[in-house]
Amino acid sequence: MFSSQLKKGSVELLILSILAEQPRHGYQIGKLIERRSGGRLRFRVSSLYPILVRMQRKGWVQGRWVERPGQRRRRYYHLTAKGEEALGAEQRTWLEFAAAVNQVIGLSHA
């Protein structure tokens, strides 16, 4: 039931969750995941970036160049309406998945 997309799907969920709060650029996304996971989840740009690209292709996120005085132009990603839907769906899938896993683990300990 839970395909091999799981791992990839989990990264997408992380990104979607972070972008649900406010638009972020690539570096911030990586850093927030790292900080909030207590350093347990770290992604290099070369891993994170292709996923962002894929998510754009699916129409979940959109990038926009933002210029601030005295700073380098950065590309900020924000959720689209489709992305918000996807976030809901991903969250449900994740919870089901986690529950299922827990169930299995609980059985094995029984």
Partner 1 sequence: MRDWKRYVRERLPLPEAKGASDESVVEEFAGELEDLYLEALERGASEDEAEAYALEGMGDWDALAEEIARGGEVRMVSGGERWLERTEVRGWARGGGWAWLADLERDTRFSLRALRKSPGFTLVALLTLALGIGSVTTIFSLINGVLLRPLPYADSGELVYMWEKLASFEHAMVTYPNFLDWRERNRAFEDLAAFNDGSINLTGVGEPVELDVVRVSASMFPILRAQPLLGRTFLPEEDKLAGERVVVLAYGFWRERFGGDPGVLGRGLTLDGNPYTVIGVMPREFEFPVRGDLERIDVFVAIERFAENWIDNRGSHPGIAVIGRLAPGVTLEQASGDMERVALELEAEYPETNEGSRVHVASLHERMTRTFRQPMMLLLLAVGLLLIIACTNVANLVLARVTGRQREIAIRTGLGANGPRIVRLLLTESLTLWVLGGLLGIAFAHGATRALLALRGDRLAPVFQVGIDSRVVAVTLAVALLTGLLFGLAPALRSLRLDLVEHLKEGARSSGGLGRNRLRSALVVAEVSLAVALLVAAGLTVRSFGEMMRASPGFDPENVLSVEINLPSARYSEASQRAAFYYELLDRVRAIPGVRSAATSYVLPVAPGGWQNSFHVEGEPPEEGGVLTFAEVSSVSADYFATMGIPLLRGREFRRSDGVEAPRVVIVDEMLAERYWPNDDPIGKRLKFGDYSSESPWREVVGLVTHVKVNGVVEEALPQFYMPHWQDNDLAYFLAVKSAGDPTRLIEPVRQAVLAIDPAQPIAEVNTMTAYVRASTADGRFMAILLGTFAAAALLLAAVGIYGVMAQATAERGHEIGVRIALGATAGEVLGMVVRQGMGRVVLGVVLGLALAVAIGRLMAGSLFGVSALDPATFLAAPLFLSLVALAASLIPARRAVRVDPVRALYLIT
Pick between residue 56 and residue 91 the one whose CB is nearest to partner 1.
56
- Whole-number minimum distance, CB 28 to partner 1, in Å? 8
- Whole-number minimum distance, CB 17 to partner 1, in Å? 20
Classified as helix, coil or strand, 65 is: strand
Pick between residue 48 and residue 79 the one whose CB is nearest to partner 1.
48
State residue 45 phi and psi, 5-degree precision.
-55, -40
Q: Which residues bind partner 1 (CB under 8 A)?
A: 25-27, 30-31, 44-47, 49-51, 53-54, 56-57, 65, 72-75
Are residues 77 and 29 in contact, defined by beta-carbon separation less than 8 angstroms? yes
Residue 26 has a CB neighbour count (10 Å cut-off) of 17
